[in-house]
Amino acid sequence: MTANWRWQLIIPGLLAIVGSGAVSTAAGHEGYDPRKVLQLQNQAEAERNSPFYSREAEGDAAALTRLGIASRLAGGAANDVEAVKWFRMAAALGYGEAEYYLGLMAEEGRGMARNCTIAARWYDLAVRQGVAEAQYRLGVLYETGCGVPGDDAAAARLYLMAAGRHLPDAEFRLGTLIHDGRGIPRNDADAARWFHKAASRGSLPAAFALGQLLDDGNVAPPPGESAVGWYHYAADRGYAPAQRQLGVLYAAGRLVAADRVQAMMWFNLAIAGGDGEAAALKERLAGRLTPFELLAAQRRARLWQPTTDCTSSQNSP
Q: Is the pLDDT of residue 199 over 90?
A: yes
Q: What is the arithmetic mean of pLDDT over 154-175?
A: 98
Which residues are within 8 A (CB) of 216 and not within 5 positions of it... i.e. 6 or more apart? none
**Last residue of a domain, which of 154, 186, 218?**
186
Give the C-alpha separation, 126 to 298, whole Å.
49
The range of the structural domain enclosing residue 168 comes to 1-186
pLDDT of residue 292: 97
Q: Is the pLDDT of residue 290 over 80?
A: yes
pLDDT of residue 218: 86
Q: Is the pLDDT of residue 22 over 60?
A: no
- State whether 36 and 86 are in the same domain: yes
**Average pLDDT in the chain:** 86
- State whether 27 and 172 are in the same domain: yes
- Our count of domains for the chain comes to 2
Residue 179 domain-assigned?
Answer: yes
- State whether 107 and 214 are in the same domain: no
Q: Is the pLDDT of residue 261 over 70?
A: yes
Residue 178 domain-assigned?
Answer: yes
- State whether 215 and 151 are in the same domain: no
Residue 152 domain-assigned?
Answer: yes
Write out 191-258 in H/E/C secondary structure: HHHHHHHHHHCCCHHHHHHHHHHHHHCCCCCCCCCCHHHHHHHHHCCCCHHHHHHHHHHHHHCCCCCC
- Over residues 30-70, the pLDDT tens digits come to 333 445 445 544 554 454 455 555 555 545 899 999 999 99
Q: What is the arithmetic mean of pLDDT over 143-161?
A: 98
The band of 17, judged by pLDDT with boundaries at 50, 70 and 90, is very low
- State whether 178 and 215 are in the same domain: no
Q: What is the pTM of this model?
A: 0.80
Residue 90 domain-assigned?
Answer: yes
Residue 270 domain-assigned?
Answer: yes
3-state percent breakdown (helix, strand, coil) of the chain, nearest 5:
65, 0, 35
**Per-residue CA distances from 164 to 37, 88, 127, 136 (Å):** 34, 28, 13, 11
Give the C-alpha separation, 116 to 95, whole Å.
20
3-state DSSP assignment of residue 152: helix
Q: Is the pLDDT of residue 207 over 80?
A: yes
- State whether 130 and 251 are in the same domain: no
Residue 83 domain-assigned?
Answer: yes
Give the C-alpha separation, 50 to 125, whole Å.
28
Give the C-alpha separation, 120 to 145, whole Å.
11
- State whether 104 and 219 are in the same domain: no
Under 8 Å between Cβ of 128 and 2: yes
Residue 202 domain-assigned?
Answer: no
Q: Is the pLDDT of residue 29 over 50?
A: no
Residue 283 domain-assigned?
Answer: yes
| CATH code, domain carrying 96 | 1.25.40.10
- State whether 103 and 247 are in the same domain: no
Under 8 Å between Cβ of 92 and 117: no
